[in-house]
Structure 1
Amino acid sequence: MWRRVTLAIPPDLPAVNCVLLSVSPWTYGAGQAQESGSYLSPENALKWLAEQMSKYSGPSQVFAVLITAGQIEQFKSALSALAGVLPLPDVNKTIRRAASAQTLALSRTQIPDNASNLPPIAALSSATTRKASTAQRVISAGQSAGIGTSFDDIAAQIDEFTALAEGVASQASAALDGLAGVSAPAWVYTENGDPATIAGNMRKEPPEPAAVFTLGLVFIGDMEQLKRIIKS
């Protein structure tokens, strides 16, 4: 049965190895492309995921997540919240597609501006310019290292290194504290057994059937640790 829950990352969550399936309105063969944009209902999302899940045989654990919305703005907001908890490439890619769709929808309602505006001044950064800049820093560092170093200089460098290490530890602690404050609402479904059978069960009562934007994630494997992200 699908449940509406809050997802959050526990600070001691270990690495998880699993199969990941994902579907969005821009997944080929899943979404419905119209002139006004691409759409995907929870029912069709689960249908597409079920076809993929049927390829896996044998007992396993399945952990499914659905993000649904009726408007593109709500969809992008919900995806951004999920990315704070699970910044997966598939989630971030869907955010970019949703942002593009949102911009396109807005531009269609605006009168084009014929003014010729030059782009703002910004630092030029490319692979070659970064390599040149890095090479110059290496050369400068080498030249500095060739200068005589006194005992006081060495002591000062050790103090700087100690301060840097303490700063890194402090940043790591702050990062964990930051994770504790990040959460995202989502629909989840968990079940153990044959993935194909579970896929059929998932499709019986899809949540929010009237939604037109859906992101579906299905994790297959040992899900005991990943299920700990269900906060409530």
Structure 2
Amino acid sequence: MWREARIAFSDSVAALNCSVIPAHPWIYGLGQQTENGAYLSPVNAINYLAEKLAGTGGASDIVIMMVSGQTHDNFMANLSQLVDVFPSTAFTQVRRLAESAAQLAAEKMQIPAKYSKSLPAAIPLSVPTSRTALAAAAVKKAQQEAADTVGMSGLKKLMGEFKQQRENLISGISSGLTDLQGKSARAWVFTASGDLPSTLLELVKGIPLQSSVFTAAMMLVGDNLDGIKGMIHDLEPDTGA
């Protein structure tokens, strides 16, 4: 069934393999493209995902995450929170496209800047071939330094530096997990497990926020999605959901 939930990492997170099907306004033939922007309702998004699911058959675990909004700003706020917690390609792509569309609309209303004769600010020059050459040079230099004779005192110093770097790396990883666990976002979710005909019947029931005009959703389909289900935390009755 559909419900609003809090999406956050927990200690139960695990790796998994699954199919990923996005639904957003920029998918060809799905969203409505106008001069003022791209639009997609939750109903059309879920019907699109249901059609994809109907062609599979059998039994599977299903997880859908969806964010919607009546206005572009509200939609982007909800989407950005979810991307910060769960930056899947399906959602990061939508945020990038939505931001680009909004920026283009704003630029159309601006007066073109005057022609400037000054040079642009200096930036690092980086192309694939130069990056490859620089990397090769760095490796060669490291090999030469490693071939030099190292005294006992120098060796002890290097071992001490390595130990410190290792401790810093472990500390950074631990801190990163703590930071991730401190982030959360609200989203509408649908979870189901079992035969797909029954799942399809439940999927199209009670689709939330049907009057919204901005929608992005992602459907995961796999044999076992317990790893991702561990990120879904039901809201308490008194949280204003």
The answer to whether the superposition gives a TM-score over 0.5 is yes
1:106 lines up with 2:73 in the alignment: no
1:229 lines up with 2:231 in the alignment: yes
Deviation of the 1:61 alpha carbon: 2.1
Q: Distance in 2 between matches of 1:37 and 1:183?
A: 29
Q: Is the 8 A contact 2:12 2:230 kept in 1?
A: no
Aligned to 2:142: 141
Aligned to 1:192: 193
Q: Which amino acid aligns with 2:41?
A: S
Q: Is the 8 A contact 1:79 1:91 kept in 2?
A: yes
Q: Which amino acid aligns with 2:88?
A: L
Q: Is the 8 A contact 1:5 1:187 kept in 2?
A: yes
Q: Which amino acid aligns with 1:154?
A: L
Q: Is the 8 A contact 1:20 1:217 kept in 2?
A: yes
Q: Which amino acid aligns with 1:161?
A: F
**Runs of 4 or more consecutive aligned structure 1 residues displaced over 6 Å after TM superposition:** none
Q: Is the 8 A contact 1:11 1:176 kept in 2?
A: no
1:44 lines up with 2:44 in the alignment: yes
Question: Matches of residues 86-125 of structure 1 in structure 2 within 5 Å?
Answer: 86-116=86-116, 118-125=119-126
Q: Which amino acid aligns with 2:75?
A: F
Deviation of the 1:163 alpha carbon: 0.5
Q: Which amino acid aligns with 1:43?
A: V
Two-structure CA RMSD over aligned residues (Å) = 1.7
Q: Is the 8 A contact 1:7 1:229 kept in 2?
A: yes
Q: Distance in 1 between matches of 2:166 and 2:12?
A: 22
Q: Is the 8 A contact 1:63 1:227 kept in 2?
A: yes
Matched-pair identity in %: 34
Deviation of the 1:77 alpha carbon: 2.5
Instruction: Classify 1:150/1:195 alpha carbon distance in 2 versus 1 (closer, same or farther; 3 Å).
Output: same
Q: Which amino acid aligns with 1:114?
A: K
Aligned to 1:16: 16
Q: Is the 8 A contact 2:18 2:221 kept in 1?
A: yes
Q: Which amino acid aligns with 2:102?
A: Q
Q: TM-score, normalised by structure 2?
A: 0.89
Q: Which amino acid aligns with 1:115?
A: Y
* Larger mean Cα displacement after TM superposition, 82-91 or 24-33: 82-91
Deviation of the 1:31 alpha carbon: 0.6
Q: Distance in 1 between matches of 2:77 and 2:130?
A: 36
Deviation of the 1:126 alpha carbon: 1.5
Residue deviations 1:34-60 (CA, integer Å, cap 9, x gap):
122211100110111111010111122
Instruction: Classify 1:200/1:113 alpha carbon distance in 2 versus 1 (closer, same or farther; 3 Å).
Output: farther
Uncovered stretches (5+) of structure 2, i.e. residues with no partner: 235-241
1:205 lines up with 2:214 in the alignment: no
Deviation of the 1:118 alpha carbon: 4.4
Uncovered stretches (5+) of structure 1, i.e. residues with no partner: none
Q: TM-score, normalised by structure 1?
A: 0.93
Q: Distance in 1 between matches of 2:191 and 2:6?
A: 14
Q: Which amino acid aligns with 2:136?
A: A
Instruction: Classify 1:191/1:130 alpha carbon distance in 2 versus 1 (closer, same or farther; 3 Å).
Output: same
SS in 1 for 2:78: helix
* Larger mean Cα displacement after TM superposition, 190-199 or 22-31: 190-199
* Larger mean Cα displacement after TM superposition, 15-24 or 218-227: 218-227
Q: Distance in 2 between matches of 1:223 and 1:138?
A: 42
* Larger mean Cα displacement after TM superposition, 13-22 or 43-52: 13-22
Instruction: Classify 1:196/1:227 alpha carbon distance in 2 versus 1 (closer, same or farther; 3 Å).
Output: same
